[in-house]
Amino acid sequence: MHSNPQLVEFLEATSRGDRVSFAKLYEQTAPHLFALAQRILKRKDWAEEALQDSFLKIWKKAADFDPQKGRAFSWIATIVRNGCLDQLRKSSREPLSPEGIKEEWHAAHQAGPLDLAALSQSAKALQDCLKELSEEERNTLVLAYWRGLTQSEMAQNLDRPLGTVKTWVRRGLERLKGCLER
């Protein structure tokens, strides 16, 4: 799925206004992207809305995709993820407790059949490397990635000094990078 050359063809045809190719792109990617959106937003109705908005952006911006810069599915998934984070920022969500962060971490890694099919080798490696981080490092990275929080927002959410949170993020990213390079 992730390195599927057909997706590149569908995106290129979509950039030229080909509705059939756009429909095929949707057919092949929507179930995986919906699972991603639902994992981030935790609400089916929000995930449906985010997915619809994302595919509208994909239709309009398909010409921006450059296969030399990355994989088609990654490009599409980034649009969906960013749309979900925008939606979270718009909503008035309460700060997460430490238990809430753990729940998000575990919910994000409870793989269902669609999730398992969508996971690439690099995603599995990332998941394994995240498990090697300290709880604090992992929590800050989860809040940054899944929730789109800034370091200041994380410090407030975790009730920790900003410098401490910055250290956790920096160390977590360094350890993650080292693990992924192995």
**pLDDT tens string 157-180:** 888 999 999 999 999 888 988 887
d(CA 7, CA 25): 6
Q: 101 exposed, middle or buried (CB, 10 Å; 0-12, 13-18, 19+)?
A: buried
Domain ranges of the chain: 1-93, 95-182
CB 165 within 8 A of CB 158: yes
Q: Rounded to two decimals, what is the model's pTM?
A: 0.55
The residues of the chain scoring below 50 in pLDDT are 1-2, 114, 116-118
Which residues are CB-contacts of 127 (< 8 A; sequence separation ≥ 6)?
A: 109, 119
Q: What is the pLDDT of residue 103?
A: 58
pLDDT in tens, 68-86: 888 898 899 999 998 988 8
For 1-93, give the CATH class: mainly alpha
Q: What is the pLDDT of residue 19?
A: 93
Is 95-182 CATH 3.40.50.720? no
Q: What is the pLDDT of residue 178?
A: 85
